[in-house]
Structure 1
Amino acid sequence: MNFLEFNHAQYRDTFNEAVADLSLSLTLDESQQAQHALQGIGAMQGYIDIMRRLDSDREQGNVSRSDATDASQIGDMMLQLLDELGHVAVSRGLTETMHQMHRLSLPVALWIVQHEGTIERLDIIVNAVASFANNVKGQEQLTALCHVITQVQSAVSETIRRDLEVSDPMRPWRILNLNWGIIATRTLSPQLMESVFDQLIDAIPIDAKAFFQEGMQQMDIVGYPDSVRAVMARYNNLLGASGSLH
């Protein structure tokens, strides 16, 4: 399955395959937690059907005023369920299942974007981006992932985008944008780097200066080409000692 797009049939098959071991573990357990998790798996399957019906209505031009709101709510519930199932999986020693739950959040986020909804739950999506970034190979895949993050970033709720908890270095909004900048750098595309860096400065102005400073250190460690080094150096110089653009 291509995790960077949403296809109902493929998503259902991938989800069912991903939770197969977890489902078996849960069916052998009569605890309340196990039964609740099994209900969560069933709920996910139900939401996939709802998504398919909403997409079918949209393709036929039957878009209601509540479409974006419905997509936001459905997507949020799915992200919550995936997060919960991931926690249950890792508690049972199924670490790879947890990672699969994380990765399955990214197509859901894209579905929310396609329906002009709002993303209110970012933690699991950040985990998904990190998982993909650690596994994708080649500039083409990195570029595709970078464009996906661009879409996700644009749909994040205004509450999260205000980024008020600046004292927390692990806040999802900060991590998402830093990873966005790192992945853009790894594409080796000066044009893409410039586009992402401009948006990164607006999104996390307090953290941007340190990002470019650390980026310059990585230029020598990794051995980036001169074209990439030039972009990083220019943004590092533009921010200056004050941490903001002149």
Structure 2
Amino acid sequence: MSGFDLIIFDCDGVLVDSEIIAAQVESRLLTEAGYPISVEEMGERFAGMTWKNILLQVEQEADIPLSASLLDKSEKLLDQRLERSVKIIDGVKFALARLTTQRCICSNSSSQRLDMMLTKVGLKPYFENHIYSAKDLGPDRVKPKPDIFLHGAKQFGVEPDRCLVIEDSTHGVHGARTAGMRVVGFTGASHTYPSHADRLTDAGAETVISRMSDLPAVIAALGEWGGI
């Protein structure tokens, strides 16, 4: 049997161009806290990770005690920036309009942030009620753990090997592959970097695209091939 039964989309950096905004906010906060880091390095190292896990990793690496207040400060600043500035990824509506397979979103962002961003860019109707946040499963179940992907598949009664995931981060690719799903990497958002495609491939993506308008043809082609 060819094709897929469910297409699972990440949100940040795949449907909306939000990772670059997060990198700008978070790099400034970390630099002010004594951990100088550029916007570009934020995108390359931490895209796809929750702010809490970023702070934990920085504390371990640099032995810098980071104030718990940074958690709330970042979330508030980021929500304000996203509500004002987030944009849709070029070609997303074109791709979604041509996909007949059932679909959902599986993201590390909170449900509230997902609702705000998807409403702003006009994507909520394309996914109806099938928008899932890993944070709703529990604080220790975010990507790169596979839990949110397995949760999404379960809502449709679809086996993991019949799912295709669209991801822009190595953490997301690892999570999807651990869940037993096939993955297309995406590098078309503003936070992309020179080795982005190679890193997604190394993490387990079967192919990588930089234009969302190419997605329907890629899904059709992968559906005819058993994968790796």
- The structure, 1 or 2, with the larger RCO (C-alpha pairs under 8 Å, 6+ apart) is 2
Verify same fold: TM over 0.5: no
User: Which structure has greater helix proportion?
Assistant: 1
* TM-score normalised to structure 1 length: 0.26
User: Which structure has greater strand proportion?
Assistant: 2
* TM-score normalised to structure 2 length: 0.27
